[in-house]
Amino acid sequence: MAGRGGAGRRPRRPRGGRLGRLWRRNLPESDGSRRGRHGTAPGSPPRVRHAILLERAGVETEERELLSAVTAGGSRADLLPLPGAPAAAVRLQPCAAGVIAEARAIGVRAAGRPLLPGARRLLRPGEGVEVGGSRIRLAPASVAERTCLAAAALLRDAAASPEAPVAGPHLLVLTGTSAGTRYPLVADQVLGRGRSATIRLADPLASRRHARLRLEAGGASVEDLGSKNGLRVNGVAVERRPWPLRDGDEIAVGETILTLVDASAREPAPSLADPGDDPSTAIASLNHAAAAALLGLCAAALALAS
């Protein structure tokens, strides 16, 4: 046996200060207490963060940063206190597409609609959840911030999964157990709960082959395939004929609501001026292009630092 202070004795861990930081920095890779570069364990998905606004009666609006799943309610154990609300009334989980709200009490509303206990709803920028006279809202993003967030989400997806990130038109699930999931659109897809469906939904009210989605040069469209419970787009029943879709349209399949996300259809991409145009116009176009490129680099840096 080694003597006191010899090599056979496990070294004591410094409590704090510069020596403690150096000790933690030099922990072996096999030590479970070592964290990744940005505070997450090696191999885990990058951390997603969102700014939320707490709006409570008689209290000034408070802005907080949501980094992980938390509960909101009237209990001291809730990290988001809501006076007068039941304990753990709602659970909030950040994801790349927004924040998933899961009701755990009666009287919860999400995105302006009732949310029954156990149900989930994806909150996007500007949307919120209401309970007990209080409201938690996902902070709206400006045009520049939306560009940064979209680029950051793409980089996070690429880092968290070996699959290609979702960059083009896609469906975003707003409700149900798959809330926050994104499905890239291709030329021809089938929505349903059956094994033959291209996009499978864990929804007992969805038919095995519920609807057909098509993506063509003119845009996307959806068609009911004779489903038992019908198909709705923005609350309007769709019969067995192709129904054109636009960015932001909501598709109801059983109890699941999905929305079409097509960023290319929102704002035309800036183009360089023709040679015959006024020189000031050409300079302004070049400035816009340079600003867009710089914004992309900033978004990449922010995503890697998140």
Q: How far apart are CA 228 and CA 193, in angstroms?
A: 12
Domains of the chain, residue spans: 50-138, 144-261
**Is a pLDDT exceeding 50 seen at residue 113?**
yes
Structure pTM?
A: 0.66
The mean pLDDT of 274-289, rounded to a whole number, is 49
> The sheet that has 243-245: what strands, in order across it?
199-200, 188-192, 211-216, 219-224, 243-245
Q: Which residues contact 105 (CB under 8 A, 6 or more apart)?
A: 73, 85, 86, 88, 89, 90, 117, 131
Burial class from Cβ neighbours inside 10 Å (0-12, 13-18, 19+) for residue 42 reads: exposed
Q: Which of 116-130, 131-145, 151-165, 182-196 bottoms out in mean pLDDT, i.e. has the lowest?
A: 151-165
Residue in this structure with the two tokens 């360089």, named with its chain if needed: 272
What is the CATH code of the structural domain delimited by 50-138? 2.60.200.20
List all residues 6 or more positions away from 7 whose beta carbon is below 8 Å from its beta carbon.
none
Of 104-113, 160-169, 251-260, the one with minimum mean pLDDT is 160-169
- Among 44-48, 214-218, 298-302, name the most confident range: 214-218
CA contacts within 13 A on the Cβ side of 27: 15
Mean pLDDT, range 6-19, rounded to an integer: 52
Could you report the per-residue pLDDT of 224-281, keeping only the tens digit for each?
Answer: 999 999 999 999 999 888 999 999 999 999 999 999 998 776 655 455 445 455 544 4
Looking at residues 91-101, what average pLDDT do you find? 94
Do the first three CATH levels of 50-138 and 144-261 match, i.e. the same topology?
yes
As a whole number, mean pLDDT of residues 21-38 equals 38
Q: Which CATH architecture has domain 144-261?
A: Sandwich (2.60)
- Residue with the bigger pLDDT between 59 and 21: it is 59
Q: How confident is the model at residue 163 (pLDDT cuts 50, 70, 90)?
A: very low
